[in-house]
Amino acid sequence: MSVHPSPDAAPAGRKPITLHRLREMHVAGEPISMLTCYDAAFARVLDHAGVDCLLIGDSLGMVLQGLGSTLPVTLTDMAYHVRCVAQGNRSAWVIGDLPFGSYQQSHAQAMESATALMQAGAHMVKLEGGGWTADTVRFLTQRGIPVCAHLGLTPQSVHALGGYRIQGRDEASATTLRLHAQQLADAGAAMLVLELMPSAVTAAITASLPIPTIGIGAGVDCAGQVLVLHDMLGLGHGKQPRFVRDFMQGAASIEAAIATYVADVKTRRFPDPTLHGY
Ligand code: KIV
């Protein structure tokens, strides 16, 4: 990796990304770029490359900890990595995943968990699940905590879903996804991640909501895109899903690969619609 800028330097000419700025981008039709990020060194690189949002995903359980799922990831793990990312970041919008079991029990539990991530440096928390999370989204939002919801393949429910499978393939489940998306937006979610679903479902949800949708394996019709950092750097192990592009192919450095990702999201060269076969 090449020499990093000083930890205290904000990227030249880059204003901090705020919720207001993300809304402006959405209204202007400018795609939002997001990558997962788990530490200060990469936070600096991503921030300097112009990535809009850094997601400290609970995917860190699989990517960093070598686990088979995100289920064992704890709030303490998440707060640690949010703090690391916040140390390296100066201007990107920082989103921390609420891990499995940290928000399902009660509003008080969700508030306590969200507080831990916000105090560690997150600007927004993300939680997985359909309409049943709408009350929690409303509760947190009303208390000044921006919330990103997450629909489609929700990895914390992998066992209930019967594996890492495409969601919303039949009319009934597509209708349910559309309904849940509306409920989450009505409850105050400021952003919605859509994971592994057909393009037609993504397009319908994106067109019907006032908030930005961020897709992963969900086609081109989202307001933004997210990938797992290690996957797009060619470090994912095992067979990679078709929607993942290895941006290190042909790139001279990690910085160049990230810059290409940002440029390709902004110009809608990524994702490639021909690779989205569902
Ligand atoms: O945990 C994570 O990295 C995520 C992304 C896949 C959206 O939730």
* Type and span of the H or E element at 35: strand 32-36
Q: Over pLDDT 70: what percentage of the chain? A: 96
Q: Which of 24, 30, 171, 195 is catalytic?
A: 195
In the reported structure, the alpha carbon of residue 84 is separated from the centroid of ligand 1 by a whole-number distance in angstroms of 17
| pLDDT on residue 153 | 97
Neighbours of 152 (CB within 10 A): 28
What ligand 1 atom has the least distance to the C-alpha of 70? 1
User: Residue of the nearest CA to atom 5 in ligand 1?
Assistant: 57
Q: 134-142 and 171-186 helices cross at what angle (nearest 10)?
A: 20
Residue 11 has pLDDT above 80, yes or no: yes
How far apart CA 200 and CA 239 sit, in angstroms, is 26
Contacts of 256 (CB under 8 A, 6+ apart): none
How far apart CA 251 and CA 10 sit, in angstroms, is 24
| pLDDT on residue 27 | 98
Q: Provide the token pair at 253.
A: 């450095």
Give one word for 152, left, alpha or beta, with left for phi > 0 and alpha for psi -120 to 50: left
- Residue 1 confidence class, pLDDT cut points 50, 70, 90: very low
In the reported structure, the alpha carbon of residue 263 is separated from the centroid of ligand 1 by a whole-number distance in angstroms of 21
* Type and span of the H or E element at 53: strand 53-56
DSSP H helices, 31-106, are 40-49, 60-63, 75-88
In the reported structure, the alpha carbon of residue 94 is separated from the centroid of ligand 1 by a whole-number distance in angstroms of 13
| pLDDT on residue 2 | 46
C-alpha radius of gyration, the chain, whole number: 17
Phi, psi of 262 (to 5 degrees): -60, -50
Average pLDDT over the chain reads 95
How far apart CA 190 and CA 148 sit, in angstroms, is 6
Decide if 195 is catalytic. Answer: yes
Residue 6 has pLDDT above 60, yes or no: no
pTM: 0.96
In the reported structure, the alpha carbon of residue 241 is separated from the centroid of ligand 1 by a whole-number distance in angstroms of 14
Structure confidence by residue, pLDDT tens digits, 224-261: 999 999 999 999 988 899 999 999 999 999 999 999 99
- Residue 7 confidence class, pLDDT cut points 50, 70, 90: low
Residue of 149, 147, 148, 143 lying closest to 131 (CA atoms): 149
| pLDDT on residue 59 | 98
Mean pLDDT of 11-26: 94
Q: How many CA atoms lie within 13 A of 71 on its CB side?
A: 7
Pocket around ligand 1 at a 6 A CB cut-off = 36, 55, 57-59, 97, 193, 195, 216, 226, 228
Structure confidence by residue, pLDDT tens digits, 186-223: 999 999 999 999 999 999 999 999 999 999 999 999 99
| pLDDT on residue 239 | 86
- Residue 170 confidence class, pLDDT cut points 50, 70, 90: very high
Q: Provide the token pair at 210.
A: 């006032």
Phi, psi of 147 (to 5 degrees): -125, 135
Structure confidence by residue, pLDDT tens digits, 113-128: 999 999 999 999 999 9
Mean pLDDT of 37-49: 98
